Structure 1
């Protein structure tokens, strides 16, 4: 049974399945947020439906496009999320013959589609993304300037022979430097939270930059272990270190998104990136080239390229997390 209704904002005729009743989606016509009504209302005659609703796009093997079940927009057959209404498509083969229940299906995400989608979202949210980066850099410079001032005072006391004052000054500098590192990490995590919300086209605002406090210790711990693994891999003929980097890089997104404890983020990261290493490599190549281009314009261009690259990485994580669940997480047969 289907639900036929009109958008309350632009009166566009929409059609979806009965199980979507009560959910919110974006109208493909005007982009307004709508609540899908229940199936109790009167449906339009079949003639009206055939005239106003686009014909179904066949799916299945060999199809290049299919139809979103919520907004009826055409999407790529390999798409994981509808770019019109944000609907996440469940896997059509979560449990496959020969694969134990709960094991993650390997399905590489299309890097070209992610790059294009990230650019579309970035153009819509450029002000927020660039503004948040400017605020983050400004606050880091202020905090760094204060720590530098502590170092200057401590050096001055050392030069004047005031040993007690110099000891106190250098101690304050050391404490201030550690606090500066934590503050920078705190803002970086906040920017990742903001980027992930923007990538998912959820409501995001500048205050999200200051919401990463509870993740700082966990991200720092996982970052230290991650750096150690990569360094050891680089010593072992470089290639193992590069592979380790690409396999484990989304650990911070997993901690933020799934609220994982301890080193669970690193443990889950390998399962998340399985089958996606080629796509991840291309995404990082695009990110490096973008930041390089930004640095050539007296580094000012990086205020545009860094937000886009951050959004690109967040969207790549989102695409991987929208695939079938990680090993050990609950799954359901479709």
Structure 2
């Protein structure tokens, strides 16, 4: 307006007070999305990278279970070793086990956060069409500490909200779910990611609600369809129930893996569409 030169960080002109362009850009930082676009893009990307989308979360969850089993075995061996050298029901046996149990709990939280971040990074790469790889599930190390604290805070918020009113927790989950994506995408401090998460979701709450409700409906539809088909095969076609139930369980696991992977991709695509300018 006046031709004055302003420092980059200023929001108003130091000479005439005119609002600078960067303020207007900041107001348009997040975009409105449509459920159709989110599902369409997610479906396209899923079949562009089917192996990564299916195997990534499966591998992460298998490794998580293996680590949990390893921790349990180590804890059991330690307990057996201590019980051999200490009197039964001794306080000297109880206290070390409590201490080791707390250490195991902290380690478990870190393992959960590590692999959850790995899945976030993997599906963010898919959503941005940036050549994702299974190795992405091991890329969350630098964010793990903040993720542990944020996850604890998130779960506590949901728990206490549900104690007040059962649907309040779901409302908060809808507001704050992008916090791990912000941790990874913008390397934000832990608590700050919650405030920014509300900025991401508040303009798209109805759309996000419809998206997640549709995915929940698909889960219910899959369960009803499998139960119904199994019943018809046993009751109407007189097929042996054992094999029918076995096949239904296998189909349920396969369908569950697909829906879980697709949900992860839908969340990443929704985040990318909201936070990236068209």
Provide the C-alpha distance between the structure 1 equivalents of 2:156 and 2:68, rounded to a whole number of angstroms: 26
d(CA) in 1 for partners of 2:122 and 2:151? 20
The reply on whether 1:310 has 2:264 as its aligned counterpart is yes
Match of 2:74 in 1: 150
Match of 2:253 among 296, 300, 305: 300
1:165 is displaced (CA, Å) by 5.9
1:199 to 110, 127, 139: 127
Matches within 5 A, 1:259-278: 259-278=187-206
Q: TM-score w.r.t. structure 2 length? A: 0.71
CA distance in 2, matches of 1:107, 1:146: 45
Cα offset, 1:245, TM superposition:
1.9
Q: In structure 2, do the counterparts of structure 1 residues 292 and 179 end up closer, same or farther at CA, with 3 Å as the change threshold?
A: farther
Residues 237-273 of structure 1, C-alpha deviations (whole Å, 9 max, x = no match): 3454333221211111011101111311111111111
Moved more, 142-151 or 295-304: 295-304
Q: Which runs of 5+ in 1 are unaligned?
A: 1-94, 325-334
Is contact 1:218-1:261 (8 Å) kept? yes
TM-score scaled by structure 1?
A: 0.60
How many angstroms does 1:214 deviate by? 0.8
> Does residue 252 of structure 1 match 2:180?
yes
Equivalent in 204, 228, 233 of residue 161 of structure 2: 233
Given the superposition, is the C-alpha separation of residues 243 and 264 from structure 1 closer, same or farther in structure 2, using an over 3 Å criterion?
same
Note the residue ranges of structure 2 that are not aligned, 5 or more in a row.
Answer: 1-20, 227-247
Tell me the C-alpha RMSD between the 2 structures: 3.0
Structure 1 residue 188 displacement after superposition? 1.1
Give, in angstroms, the shift of residue 185 of structure 1. 1.3
The Cα offsets for residues 18-51 of structure 1, whole Å up to 9 and x where unpaired, read as xxxxxxxxxxxxxxxxxxxxxxxxxxxxxxxxxx
What is the correspondence of 1:146-185 to structure 2 with a 5 Å cutoff? 146-153=70-77, 156=80, 161=87, 163=90, 164=92, 168=96, 171-185=99-113
- Tell me if the contact between 2:83 and 2:93 (Cα under 8 Å) persists in the aligned partners: no
